[in-house]
Structure 1
């Protein structure tokens, strides 16, 4: 009997072990199911990203090491490009300062806001990105060049005209880099950055980052540098000495008649650029120091480019539809979304797209007034939008020579197409002709492409209600009162261009 009991006991024990094993296996299966369910669920970003928008002035797309410029040294930007979405076909919606900045702030086109000349006042009726960020729970800051107030380049800009930016160390416009002014807080006292303003503004931005790193609300910091915009000769000697004139290589589209002047300007231009690259490296180091890299949405770009004598256009020029003027660098890094590796994006992007794309990535509601397209899905999914074309333009050109025309232009991933008031004007295959030395618009082989791109251009113009008229028509429409001797009046800035005794004012529309 004892042996039988032991046999049953042994059988019972074996059964219990099997059941325990089955329970463990079931538990394991349940855990695996839960893990798979979690891993298949899209990543939830619990905290909104900090936003840092680094805006250079007149930095053309080709003037970096990562873009292939044989002269300039930009190690920090080169590394940033590896970690970012590099939109290498980014264009300025209108390659001149104030119109770009107005489009950035509103997500709208210059024909919609009336902001198509320098030194205009952005209408208070326009909803701006700073106001929208505050409504979205952000702390906002602006450091550097503003150029949207239209009351004179050295005028005090009171808080109610700062368009939602709370922390403020800025000036309307000042390119005297070694003695540039700014206003801070609620004070109308004119202050001056210590030394070379690129370095001083960077230090201030670094301190802002440190002060706001652990606050409950995320921050949005816009740093608007004046460099590498001319005057180029005022760049720090330490950096200018690294660019001897006889070691600078000019591209083949700079004619002999412009080479001497172009070399002189290029030396300071590249020096400013390298100094700014150093500052960007300092900013990135501060983000790392404060542990903010992963959840910071960072952009590096420029408002427009610089001709530097290309195509015979004077050095220091912009506004024209050519790549040196219209194309800008655009790097976007947001590791919380795309990880540590970046991606080269051929799909084009233009200025009005920036506002909605930033808001799409930050999961903020995009105002209905915005006219640009939210491209955040490109960053989230790593998939470009095929056949995309973007619009850029010039309404009232003040450049002299062959390129002094009103124009509307289309940029695709491969081509640049430009139409003047007289009809199709320029067509370039940017993939095979990056210096745009062969205009294909009259070549019969490309007639179908001209028609296709012209149709895309008109589609884009219809979307924003622009019927492409002569410049004076827009000036009259918006009630602008300009200086008698030019469409681009300047005040208080002797290095910037034609002088004007007055700041342009609006009479009626937009105010």
Structure 2
């Protein structure tokens, strides 16, 4: 009789524990996986209509996601984008407008922000915010609150790329092609978090499809015969042959990304955490690849190929498996205010970006919304596009102002390749005036008077070399004083 009573009591306890665990799981904040590709243009995906792209996993993800079709990089190059993402601030506020700069420790880093909101944090892959040299060890006190850490400051040797982990300054190397290896590590990290009390926020920062393009997996390059590659009409015929060679490796890198993300999504399903995980897929900036006659590998240009990025948010708890294309534009400082707003998490008072979460939770668009992107200093991209600019993107137009005044205006719906500059058309003078007014409204909001490059270099006490750049360096000494960094050549 006593045995039966004890058994009944333990059954009740176990049922109670199971009920409580289920309740905790339901009330647990969702996990966050933020995936950053490097130099992936918004158009270079199957779901975006690129005839060359073989990206079935991303195409399927897009069908189940909020797809921001008018997302731009606030400054289309690596370090400035990452600084804006990590701080929620514009480059004109932080001074992070050149590659290889050191993000000041006084800034409220995103890892710390997420930890303060109850998350376990992890970062795998490329960092490019420390400014102490591209192969330098980044100690824990400079990791901005990220606990799990397998990171390199910057390394594009994809078949022999390095990383550091834990408290050790021993340089380690990913096994084989790093996109695949980093994905496997992310899969293991997710598996290790299952059943733990805290949700996790995992950043997976790939180096691809950034050049060198020829180092993509050979078996994937064979999927893109040169004679089958189709380049857009805005690429000059004289550049086509050379660009097809670059494009072959570029699309092979993209396919490898797609395979990796497919594996990551499969792991989420197998682990049973897909429904309670927010997935963001995006890029830090695009790639010109010869468009408008600008050389391959160039970015920082005001045109769509460099400035526009893919931006998908999948959160089954909010939208199930029903995807939606969103016209409302978004720029980098808006990203985490929007995600926090969607998840009903406190938004730091230091953030300058807009909370656009009503677009997601309210199934609506924000009419006449415009977002800002910019270049503060020349980067050596060549030609007429190598100049300072401020630009805005709306759901329909791209408008760009140089120091000389209105420069570019495109109707991105009727002219997606941006081949017809309306700023030079007298019949669009009124529209140019309206867009210019909208641009200055945003610049005034963030205290940017749009000065020449030297003004910003002097303001942040930067020390350019006599030739205006420093060479790419792997010796860890390319910035002897990270608090007074020098102008870099923008090669990453």
Structure 2 Cα separation of the partners of residues 506 and 193 of structure 1: 30
Give 1:490 deviation, angstroms: 3.5
Residue in structure 1 matched with residue 71 of structure 2 by the alignment: 90
Asked if 1:365 is matched to 2:356, the reply is no
C-alpha contact 1:393 1:407 (8 A) present in aligned 2: yes
**Could you give the per-residue CA deviations for residues 467-501 of structure 1, whole angstroms, max 9, x where no partner exists?**
000011001001112333224653229xxxxx995
Q: CA deviation at 1:504?
A: 6.7
Q: Distance in 2 between matches of 1:488 and 1:411?
A: 32
**Whole-Å separation in 1 of the counterparts to 2:395 and 2:404:** 25
2:158 is the alignment partner of 1:177: yes
Structural RMSD (CA)? 1.6
Say whether 1:144 aligns with 2:144: no
Residues 131 and 479, structure 2, Cα contact 8 Å, conserved in 1 = no
> Is 2:189 aligned against 1:208?
yes
| CA offset digits 1:31-74 (Å, max 9, x no partner) | xxxxxxxxxxxxx9722110000000000000000000000100
Q: Find the structure with the greater CA-based Rg.
A: 1
Does 2:435 correspond to 1:444? Answer: no
The structural deviation recorded for 1:76 is: 0.3
Q: 2: CA distance between counterparts of 1:194 and 1:163?
A: 26
Match of 1:266 among 247, 250, 261: 247
Please tell me whether residue 404 in structure 1 is matched to residue 386 in structure 2.
Answer: yes
* Equivalent residues in 2 for 1:483-494, closer than 5 Å: 483-487=465-469, 490-492=472-474
The answer as to whether partners of 2:391 and 2:399 remain within 8 angstroms in 1 is yes
Superposed displacement of residue 362, structure 1: 2.6
Q: 2:170 aligns with which of 179, 189, 203?
A: 189
Question: Superposition pairs for residues 465-504 of structure 1, below 5 Å?
Answer: 465-487=447-469, 490-492=472-474, 502=479
More displaced stretch, 215-224 vs 358-367: 358-367
Matched, 1:120 2:98: no
Partner of 1:422: 404
- Contiguous gaps of at least 5 residues in structure 1: 1-43, 494-498
Pairing 1:389–2:365 present: no
| CA distance, structure 2, for counterparts of residue 420 and residue 322 of structure 1 | 13
- Name the SS of the counterpart of 1:372 in structure 2: coil
CA distance in 2, matches of 1:258, 1:236: 24
Distance 1:174 1:507, change over 3 A: closer
- 2:57 maps to 76
Q: Could you list the runs of 4 or more consecutive aligned residues of structure 1 that deviate by over 3 angstroms after TM superposition? A: 487-490, 499-508
Q: Is contact 2:31–2:200 with CA below 8 Å preserved after alignment? A: yes
- Pair 1:244 & 2:225 matched: yes
Provide the secondary structure at the position in 2 that maps to 1:300. Answer: strand
**Residue 500 and residue 459 in structure 1: after superposition, are their counterparts in 2 closer, same or farther (change >3 A)?**
farther
For normalisation by structure 1, the TM-score amounts to 0.88
Match of 1:319 in 2: 300
Does the CA-based 8 Å contact 1:483-1:501 persist in structure 2? Answer: no
Change (3 A) 1:256 1:200: same
SS in 2 for 1:475: helix
Distance 1:220 1:501, change over 3 A: closer
1:506 deviates by 3.6
Distance 1:489 1:390, change over 3 A: farther
Structure 2 distance, partners of 1:482, 1:352, is 27
- Identify which of 395, 399, 407 aligns with 1:413: 395
Q: 3-state DSSP class of the match of 2:48?
A: coil
Whether the aligned pair in 2 keeps the contact of 1:174 and 1:226 (CA below 8 Å) is: yes
How far does the alpha carbon of each residue in 1:114-164 deviate from its partner, in whole angstroms, 9 at most, with x for none?
000000000111111110111111000000000000000000000000000
Instruction: Name the SS of the counterpart of 1:230 in structure 2.
Output: coil
Query: 2:369 & 2:480 partners in 1: Cα distance?
Result: 38
For 1:282, the equivalent position in structure 2 comes to 263
Given the two structures, how large is their TM-score scaled by the length of structure 2?
0.91
Q: 1:351-410 CA deviation, whole Å, 9 max, x = no partner?
A: 000121121223221111100011122111111111100000001121111100000000
Asked if structure 2 preserves the Cα contact closer than 8 Å seen for 1:481 and 1:505, the reply is no
Say which SS state the counterpart of residue 345 (structure 2) adopts.
coil
Give the conservation status (yes or no) of the 8 Å contact 1:350–1:392: yes
Distance 2:261 2:297 in 1: 23
**Contact 1:297-1:334 within 8 A present in 2 as well:** yes
SS in 1 for 2:102: coil
Q: Would you say 1:129 and 2:110 are equivalent positions?
A: yes
Give aligned pairs, total. Answer: 460
> In the alignment, is the contact (CA less than 8 A) between 2:133 and 2:478 conserved in 1?
no
* Corresponding position of 1:109: 90
Q: Secondary structure at the match of 1:66?
A: helix
The secondary structure found in structure 2 opposite 1:344 is: strand
Retained in 1: the 8 A contact 2:121–2:200? yes
